Amino acid sequence: MAVITLTSDYGLKDHYVAALKGVLHRELPDPKIVDVTHQVQAFNITEAAFILRNAYHHFPAGSVHLILVDEEALPNKSHLIMQLGDHYFVAADNGVLSMLNPEKKPDKIVSIDLRNSPELSSARDIFARAAAHVVRGGKIDLLGRVVKDMKVALVPKPIKRDNDKHLIGSVIYIDRFGTLVTNLQQREVTEMAKGRRMRINLPRGRKVDKILGHYYEEKSDGNLIAIFNASGLLEIALFRTSTDTFGGATDLLGMRLGDQVDIEFL
């Protein structure tokens, strides 16, 4: 039986997550539910997409991923189910689905229409019904109408400067260790480098001269490092520290979401 994952901005105190799980337990006899996170900043679909993007591909093929952020349907905002490779995603048509894997074209998008089930009174009920349908092996076409388009969210892209001497990215996520995750992709950086050496210019006069392939290449706790993470994105981190101990990279550099990271090719 396929896994159902939950990504929401519901927090962990209120009854919202439990109500959703209760409904899933009524829809399916023994659902396999995994929480991705319920700590997304309220209504922040960019953050939701970032977290799920890094998690979903670790799950088995056939998994259904529910995104409950800004999920209420409005007259101009329907509920969608998207097939992307071996995975299914349910969300409102608010742009979040477009950020899960921008490099990959969705295999199918269905605008969910369950008006013939009027007992479903909320996004929660509709998402649970859609998930149960997929878990039972149902085709997503049966959940509504196949559509060609969905809302596409604008995401900041790295910029080239000075005749390809610089690639300027930005911080798109800061994790609990204070590590700065950027939108600089390994493939793009490598192609643009054409074998040149690199230097990453950071605030407060800090520079990093190489990008590690693995954490174990570093030896000293607290050193500032750059590394491509498992998703191929450049991270700036302090080796084995965190914001709740001696401070992470975000504290050392005073960098926040949206701040620039400059790779200079020498």
* Closer by beta carbon to a copy of itself, 51 or else 90: 51
Q: What is the DSSP annotation of 86-145? A: TEEEEEESSSGGGGS-TTS--SEEEEE--TT-TT--SHHHHHHHHHHHHHTT--GGGGEE
**Sign of the dihedral defined by the CA atoms of residues 39, 185, 212, 225, in that order:** negative
Show the site string, 138-177: x = touches a copy of itself by CB under 8 A, - = not. -------------------------------------xxx
> Is the distance from CB of 168 to CB of 159 less than 8 angstroms?
yes
> Is the distance from CB of 3 to CB of 30 less than 8 angstroms?
no
> Is the distance from CB of 253 to CB of 204 less than 8 angstroms?
yes
Show the site string, 65-104: x = touches a copy of itself by CB under 8 A, - = not. -----x-xxxx-----------------------------
Residue 51 engages a copy of itself in binding (rule: CB under 8 A): yes
Helix (H) or strand (E) holding 207: strand 207-208
* Closer by beta carbon to a copy of itself, 27 or else 188: 27
Interface of this chain with a copy of itself, residues 193 to 232, rule: CB under 8 A = 215-216, 230
- Unique residue bearing structure tokens 């490092």: 225
Rounded-to-integer distance, Cα 115 and Cα 205, Å: 59
Smallest separation, CB 19 to a copy of itself (Å) = 4
* Closer by beta carbon to a copy of itself, 15 or else 104: 15
* Closer by beta carbon to a copy of itself, 53 or else 199: 53
Smallest separation, CB 53 to a copy of itself (Å) = 8
Rounded-to-integer distance, Cα 226 and Cα 135, Å: 40
Looking only at the bridges linking them, the beta strands covering 108-112 and 211-212 are unpaired
Smallest separation, CB 229 to a copy of itself (Å) = 10
| Candidate list 78, 101, 170, 241; residue touching a copy of itself; CB under 8 A | 241
Binding site for a copy of itself (CB under 8 A): 1, 3, 5, 9-23, 25-26, 30, 32, 34-44, 51-52, 54-60, 63, 70, 72-75, 121-122, 175-177, 215-216, 230, 240-245
